[in-house]
């Protein structure tokens, strides 16, 4: 008789959309949201999948897959970035679209949430191929985007030039006259907003400043770690360095660097420009991204990709304050662990909402063809970040929940009330 061992099947990891829905349900439980509104708000309104050919420089044709998801349109047109990444999935885009709804609502913006993406590694494309891909993708999703329906913006591996191509493609389909309100994050010459490139990182720093005042953290000399040294992370690191913080560790996709006495951030930025990475920076020790998250610090800013702080490493996080400049860097299980340990988490739908807030400013300017100074932009952004922080903190204290659940509860309440007021169209 042969005795075989039972097959042990690992529990599948939840998708990013599962995480988003779990977070929604936690907050919905807190505010006692009724079942009808749960069904409406936990479902994406529109999901577009496109498969489109692109002619490459060598004359061959490749077929790419792209997505555009609109989660909710109750408060106004949907808003959300477009990312180019080989691992983009529909579930990921749905989750990010849902988070955009809550992000806009928690900041009091008249938007719903959307997100888009193409399964591609843009680093493998020439500039001409990237333009061909962008214009064809823009044509495919032009069915659903528009200045009063759905407004794209830059995200992972996209930039103002990509937005310019989308603007031009959309405009050419409508007679050729520029329609600047169809995208945000575009070049200044095409109606972009002053301060937009730094908005996500700057907004995160405004959030950190508010939280530091509220929780008694002295920023001068505070030790800061930033995971991810792209646009948001490098700007946040530079601004905190200018405020007198000791930025002791930063990283990018290739790895990280650490110096407990503090890094010269302008020099690190220059080093990355010259070498393409922060690693091997003089007077610093190379560390992995995993090690970087667990460094002894006061403030941790995850500014890379989602799912970085999990139930495995959350018990080893040493920061007093976490400000999420990335989307979805902390899992729900990690949230509970961090909350029980007394670590304050400024959630992504608040901490990285500077980008969408200044995108809103840009959209308003584009529609009016009347533009503001960068000083006005930053002043308005700081005011909104401060107001939103205190609204979230008040909900957190009222319900005795962590800041993510409080931010979600505040956002869901707002969208639910808008939905109730509008009613259900027959």
CA–CA distance, 161 with 229 (Å, rounded to integer) = 20
* Tokens 């680093």, located at residue: 123
- Report the length, in residues, of the chain: 426
DSSP bridge pairs for 150: 78, 146
Report residue 193: phi and psi, to 5°.
Answer: -100, 140
CA distance 77 to 414: 16
Calculate the alpha carbon distances from 306 to 120, 327, 328 in Å. Answer: 18, 6, 5
Selected catalytic residue, list 79, 94, 103, 115: 115
Residue 278: name the closest of 293, 291, 263 by CA: 263
β 246-252/223-227 pair status: parallel
115 is catalytic: yes
Report the C-alpha gap between 334 and 41 in whole angstroms.
24
Specify the pairing of strand 246-252 against strand 255-258.
antiparallel
Q: Are 134 and 166 in contact (CB under 8 A)?
A: yes
What is the distance between the alpha carbons of residues 115 and 132, in angstroms, rounded to a whole number?
A: 21
Q: Is residue 293 within 8 Å of 227, Cβ to Cβ?
A: yes
Residue numbers annotated as active site: 115
């Amino acid at each position: 008789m042969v005795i075989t061992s039972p097959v042990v099947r690992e529990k599948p990891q939840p998708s990013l959309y599962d995480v988003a829905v779990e977070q929604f349900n936690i907050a919905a439980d807190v505010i006692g949201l009724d079942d009808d509104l749960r069904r409406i708000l936990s479902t994406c309104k529109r999901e577009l999948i496109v498969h489109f050919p692109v002619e490459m420089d060598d004359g061959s044709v490749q077929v790419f897959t792209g997505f555009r998801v609109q989660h909710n349109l109750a408060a106004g047109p949907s808003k959300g970035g477009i990312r180019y990444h080989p691992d983009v999935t529909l579930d990921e885009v749905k989750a990010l679209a849902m988070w955009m709804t809550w992000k806009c609502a928690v900041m009091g913006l008249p938007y719903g949430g959307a997100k888009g993406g193409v399964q591609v590694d843009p680093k493998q494309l020439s500039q001409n191929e990237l333009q061909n891909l962008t214009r064809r993708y823009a044509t495919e999703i032009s069915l659903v985007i528009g200045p009063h329906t759905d407004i794209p913006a830059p995200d992972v591996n996209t930039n103002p030039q990509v937005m310019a191509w989308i603007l031009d493609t959309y405009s050419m389909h409508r007679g050729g006259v520029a329609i600047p309100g169809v995208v945000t994050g575009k070049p200044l010459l095409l109606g972009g907003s002053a301060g937009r490139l730094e908005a996500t990182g700057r907004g995160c720093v405004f959030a950190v400043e508010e939280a530091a005042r509220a929780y008694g953290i002295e920023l001068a000399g505070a030790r800061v770690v930033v995971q991810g040294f792209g646009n948001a992370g490098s700007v946040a690191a530079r601004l905190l360095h200018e405020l007198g913080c000791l930025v002791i560790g930063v990283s990018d996709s290739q790895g990280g660097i650490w110096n407990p006495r503090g890094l010269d951030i302008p020099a690190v930025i220059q080093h990355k420009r010259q070498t393409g990475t922060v690693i091997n920076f003089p007077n610093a020790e190379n560390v992995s991204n995993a090690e970087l998250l667990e460094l002894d610090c006061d403030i941790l800013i995850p500014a890379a990709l989602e799912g970085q702080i999990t139930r495995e490493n959350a018990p080893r996080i040493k920061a007093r304050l976490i400000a999420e400049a990335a989307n979805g860097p902390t899992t729900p299980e990690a949230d509970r662990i961090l909350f029980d340990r007394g670590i304050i988490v400024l959630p992504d739908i608040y901490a990285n909402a500077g980008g969408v807030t200044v995108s809103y400013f840009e959209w308003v300017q584009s529609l009016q063809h009347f533009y503001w100074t960068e000083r006005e932009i930053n002043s308005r952004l700081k005011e909104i970040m401060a107001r939103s922080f205190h609204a979230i903190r008040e909900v957190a204290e009222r319900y005795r929940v962590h800041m993510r659940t409080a931010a979600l509860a505040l956002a869901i309440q707002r969208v639910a009330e808008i939905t109730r007021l509008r009613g259900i169209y027959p």
